Amino acid sequence: MNKKTSTPGFATRAIHTGQEPDAETGAVTVPIYATSTYVQQEIGKHKGYEYARVSNPTRTRLEENLASLEGGIASRVFASGMAAINALCTMYKSGDHVVAGNNLYGGVPRLFNQVLAGYGIEFAYVDTSDVRSVERAIRKSTRMVYVETPTNPLMALSDLKAISEVCRRKHVDLVVDNTFMSPYFQQPIALGADMVVHSTTKFLNGHSDGLGGVVVCTRPGQVEQLSFVQKAAGAILSPFECWLVLRGVKTLAVRMEQHDRNGRAVADFLVQHKKVRKVFYPGLPDHPQFELAKQQMTGFGAMISFETGSLNNANKMLRKVRVCSLGESLGGVETLISHPATMTHAAVGERGRKEIGITDGMVRISVGIEDVDDIIADLDQALSAI
């Protein structure tokens, strides 16, 4: 292949796409355009920027960067992951039907059931790891299939290629939340997704210091609608927050490599630990979808859940962690440990949790990039409290 015309690699695009030196000063880092408005030369004559809700150069750079990393034609960023998901849902109207995974990030069914259902969009929830149940749930009015893979906290995978073939046949959009794997380990658009969403709050930003969300598009109509929603509804990402993500993505490739290495080591440690009853991690050969994980992802990532046996055991252990921090969220450089039943999945209710298999003894870790020996030693001493 001619090296000069081939697409640069992932890490190169993460550092350079949209992150070209500033044309005026040569500043190697994209400037933060902290401005609400732009001076116009005369009536109707300006440099493409009129008002910062509509467009901002820092934001434009980030949108170019993230579109490139996911292999989309363009992207639009929003004030949080939830704002991004809400924005993409404006493409659907009253009477439209959506088939969604039955084990999504808790905020998503909350948005669907308690906000969007009120506007007449209908939702059905199925186990998307079973392609046939996705196909069976699609009706004449279905416009979108919404999938998270792997799921939180059970780490169940959905076969994106197989689901995208069903969607194509039925003329339904496939939207994938790629937050857990990041574009470094999983490329849903290459597997047939029509749109990809992220909470950039997590691995893309990577430093637990800002919220954000993005929708990556594959068709001009999607870009047009999302640009309109930025202007019309206004839940845009601020220039400073855009800059944080631009800085964060520069190290995405090396961070994900280290997250993955540490994730595998922590999973291996947990599997052999006497107090741990079960480990959920797609990189373990006994994960029911280990083969799919190897095909669909280029790494296994840093998200691991495990079973301590009871709420009491989980509590005893979580009280004792020192290197790991007990808290919600994930994807930062620091190891975060959480208790799904009382934190991320409290709103699902006891019955809902039982249906999808989330127990009171389940603990979830987002393995950070500290020295892995320190993470393992900390988990070991905390588990000894059980």
Cβ nearer to ligand PLP, comparing 8 with 234: 234
Cβ nearer to ligand PLP, comparing 185 with 269: 185
CB of 104 to ligand PLP, least distance (A): 7
CB of 174 to ligand PLP, least distance (A): 16
Give residue number: closest CB to ligand PLP.
Answer: 81
C-alpha span between 164 and 182 (Å, rounded): 19
The residue written with tokens 């993470």 in the block is: 375
Cβ nearer to ligand PLP, comparing 57 with 331: 331
Cβ nearer to ligand PLP, comparing 56 with 103: 103
Kindly list the catalytic residues: 53, 105, 177, 202
Cβ nearer to ligand PLP, comparing 128 with 313: 128
Characterize 126-155 residue by residue with b for buried, 16 or more Cβ atoms within 10 angstroms of its Cβ, and e for exposed.
Answer: bbbbeeeebbebbeeebbbbbbbbbbbbbb
CA dist list (Å): 153 to 73, 246, 289, 307, 339: 31, 28, 15, 11, 10
CB of 377 to ligand PLP, least distance (A): 27
C-alpha span between 361 and 278 (Å, rounded): 11
C-alpha span between 359 and 123 (Å, rounded): 25
Alpha helices in the chain (DSSP H): 10-16, 57-70, 81-89, 107-114, 131-137, 160-170, 182-185, 220-233, 239-249, 252-272, 290-296, 311-320, 349-356, 372-383
CA dist list (Å): 177 to 81, 102, 123: 10, 14, 17
Residue pair 240/209 in contact (Cβ under 8 Å)? The answer is no
Enter the tokens of residue 352.
């809902």
CB of 380 to ligand PLP, least distance (A): 27
* Chain contacts with ligand PLP (rule: CB under 6 A): 80-82, 105, 107, 148, 152, 177, 179-180, 199, 201-202, 211, 213
Enter the tokens of residue 111.
């948005």
Cβ nearer to ligand PLP, comparing 135 with 177: 177
Q: In what order do the strands lie in the sheet with 303-307?
A: 278-280, 303-307, 362-366, 336-338, 325-326
- Reduce the DSSP state of residue 93 to 3 states and report it: coil
CB of 381 to ligand PLP, least distance (A): 28
Q: How far is CA 337 from the centre of its chain?
A: 18
